[in-house]
């Protein structure tokens, strides 16, 4: 195997790994558009059903959902709506 082929193979592996990581990215990170580690009410508007149920999930009523609070929403989030995002 020559050096060029090795590099092509390595590149293909990296692409595979990168796309796998992107696929595994959870709904929380996708919804957290400013990436401050919490979902604001503004960010919640992109998620069907979350704004309507906001008070149910914002347990400490600080106006944002942290990852723990959001995980409760994720558990009830319909799978088809999840993949449509």
**Site track for Ca ion across 7-46, x = CB under 5 A:** -------------------------x-x-x----------
Q: What are the CA-CA distances from residue 28 to residues 6, 7, 85 (Å)?
A: 37, 35, 12
Site size toward Ca ion (CB under 5 A) is 7
* H helices present in the chain, as ranges: 3-24, 27-31, 41-44, 54-57, 67-76, 79-84
70 binds Ca ion (CB under 5 A): no
Question: What is the nearest approach in angstroms of Ca ion to the Cβ of residue 8?
Answer: 39
In this chain, which of 56, 60, 76, 81 binds Ca ion, going by CB under 5 A?
A: 60
Q: Which is nearer to Ca ion, 66 or 82 (CB)?
A: 66
Query: Closest by alpha carbon to 59, among 38, 35, 29, 78?
Result: 38
Q: 39-40 and 64-65 as β-strands: parallel, antiparallel, unpaired? A: antiparallel
Task: Name the residues that contact Ca ion, by CB under 5 A.
Answer: 32, 34, 36, 58, 60, 62, 69
């Amino acid at each position: 195997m020559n050096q060029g082929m090795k590099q092509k193979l390595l590149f293909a592996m990296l692409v595979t790994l990168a796309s796998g990581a992107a696929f595994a990215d959870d709904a929380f990170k996708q919804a957290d558009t400013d990436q401050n580690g919490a979902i604001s009410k503004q960010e919640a508007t992109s998620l069907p059903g979350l704004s309507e149920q906001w008070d149910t999930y914002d347990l400490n009523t600080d106006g944002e959902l942290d990852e723990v609070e959001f995980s409760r929403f994720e558990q009830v989030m319909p799978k088809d709506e999840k993949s449509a995002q």
